[in-house]
Amino acid sequence: MISFDFFSKDKIQAQHSTSDALDMFTSIINDERFGFVRLFERKDLLDKCKETFQKFKNKKHFVHVGIGGSALGTEMLIKGLAKNDFPFTLINNIDPDEMNAQIKKLNLKECVFFFVSKSGGTAETMATLAIITSELIKLGVKENELKEYFVFATDPVKSDLLELGQNLEITCLEIPSDVGGRFSALTPVGLFPALFAGINIDDLYTGAMAYKKELLKKENNSLVDGCNFLYALAQNGVNQTVLMPYSSKLKELSFWFVQLWAESLGKKTNLNGKIIHSGLTPIPAYGATDQHSQMQLFMEGPYDKCLILLEVENFENDFSLASPFAGPAFERLRSKSLSQLIKAEFYGTLKALKESERPFIHMKVSKRDEMHLASMVLYFEALTALMGAYLQINPFDQPGVEAGKIFAYEFLEKTQ
């Protein structure tokens, strides 16, 4: 399924034995507050998404409204796996010029709008909800007809959005209370939009369930190996983690990982309240493109980065590189295919990193499909949770952004 190979010039001293690390991991996933692994037993979530999809599938355009954990996982699934070109618009910011450009392109009455907020009160998402509502009302839609255009996803227990949804009889999909925003890619946040893109959501859950066994096996455990590797490097100053899939379609996997890793591990205090300012800095990248952008720094800059290079073994398509043109640049390519070129660039980079004594993880998936993407999502989520345990912090909260929100509301209050 997924294979791993670790390279570091220095020998890695494991922080925890596999059995100790597995005990730590098991206690996390058995903690009733953290449901990200149990999620895949929730067949009811799949069913509710499918039922809602049946209701809205005749709409011409899908508009996803969410920010951070309410958007990044969805983008990753759609870009990574979409089987069709169902028109998809993502509204994930409050730039008035961007909003205007996005809205004016849409025939609003032909859209299904999916508003996603775990807390049910995210300012950016509520602002967009207010704007879209006004625009629909201008087009003659009545308040009690909004349910024909809107679907909400939010916490099922307590949320302003939930209450509004119940008042207006708008379909509300559940983001389970025990699954935090950045762990919610495979909840209805991602699953409902995925259906419009022709993605097999059953396969997502099947893949994740199967991969759960890998995470818990007692020998050659890649989760523990990965965590030991990255933790040991971080203790030696290598505290930046580059995720670099060699695939344009997996570029958004990298951005999803950025939030997961940054927000989970960047903490002021540890579990004992001691001030530690922990954090491993994630850096998004994708190959071969970033060989022409960031690789110079990765290869020759400070020794502070570990690269996770992700190889997709089999592509679905390929192209011959034969051409009628003369010259060395064309000669070299003539008898080759595009997939051979991207592979050669991948292995060329790997070899160059090794020669430069830069640490890396070579991660290989046999193909880019539902089963493998769900497995990778689960791997990185588990890696983040276990790394949080290694660092003795809480990887499931995000206290540091609260001050900014309070100050923002103060500034907003004062605005005339």
Subset of residues 158 to 187 that bind its own copies, contact rule: CB under 8 A: 160-161, 163-164, 181
In angstroms, what is the minimal distance from the CB of 330 to its own copies? Answer: 6
Q: Which residues inside 283-302 make contact with its own copies, applying CB under 8 A?
A: 283-284, 286, 288-289, 291-302
Long-range CB pairs of 131-136, under 8 A, 24+ apart, other chains included: 131/99, 131/103, 132/63, 132/65, 132/103, 132/108, 135/103, 135/108, 136/108, 136/109
Is residue 153 within 8 A of residue 191, CB to CB? The reply is: no
Is residue 370 within 8 A of residue 81, CB to CB? The reply is: yes
336 is catalytic: no
Q: Which residues inside 116-145 make contact with its own copies, applying CB under 8 A?
A: 120-124, 126-127, 129-131, 133-134, 143
Among 43, 47, 156, 399, which residue interacts with its own copies (rule: CB under 8 A)? 399
Is 86 an interacting residue with respect to its own copies (CB under 8 A)? no
Q: Is 248 exposed, middle or buried (0-12, 13-18, 19+ CB in 10 A)?
A: middle
Is residue 390 within 8 A of residue 16, CB to CB? The reply is: yes
Q: Which residues inside 97-116 make contact with its own copies, applying CB under 8 A?
A: 97-101, 105
Active-site choice (11, 104, 277, 292)? 292
Among 92, 221, 228, 241, which residue interacts with its own copies (rule: CB under 8 A)? 92
In angstroms, what is the minimal distance from the CB of 383 to its own copies? Answer: 16
- Between CA 276 and CA 229 the distance in angstroms is 21
- Between CA 148 and CA 144 the distance in angstroms is 9
Q: Is 203 exposed, middle or buried (0-12, 13-18, 19+ CB in 10 A)?
A: middle
Q: Which residues inside 176-235 make contact with its own copies, applying CB under 8 A?
A: 181
Q: Which residues inside 18-47 make contact with its own copies, applying CB under 8 A?
A: none
- Angle, in degrees to the nearest 10, between helices 222-235 and 370-391: 50
Is residue 319 within 8 A of residue 334, CB to CB? The reply is: no
Among 249, 364, 392, 394, which residue interacts with its own copies (rule: CB under 8 A)? 249
DSSP label of 218: S
Position 334, amino acid: R
Is 67 an interacting residue with respect to its own copies (CB under 8 A)? yes
In angstroms, what is the minimal distance from the CB of 318 to its own copies? Answer: 5
What string marks each residue from 43 to 62 as x (binds its own copies by CB under 8 A) or -? --------------------
Active-site choice (263, 311, 370, 381)? 263
274 is catalytic: no
Query: Around Cβ 339, how many Cβ atoms within 10 Å?
Result: 16
**CB-side neighbour CA atoms (13 Å) of 37:** 23
In angstroms, what is the minimal distance from the CB of 21 to its own copies? Answer: 23
405 is catalytic: yes
Nearer to its own copies, 18 or 281 (CB): 281
Q: Which residues inside 257-286 make contact with its own copies, applying CB under 8 A?
A: 258-259, 262-263, 265-268, 277-279, 281, 283-284, 286
Among 32, 44, 219, 316, which residue interacts with its own copies (rule: CB under 8 A)? 316
Is 340 an interacting residue with respect to its own copies (CB under 8 A)? yes
In angstroms, what is the minimal distance from the CB of 322 to its own copies? Answer: 7
Query: Around Cβ 387, how many Cβ atoms within 10 Å?
Result: 22
Is residue 257 within 8 A of residue 243, CB to CB? The reply is: yes
Q: What positions carry a catalytic annotation?
A: 263, 292, 405
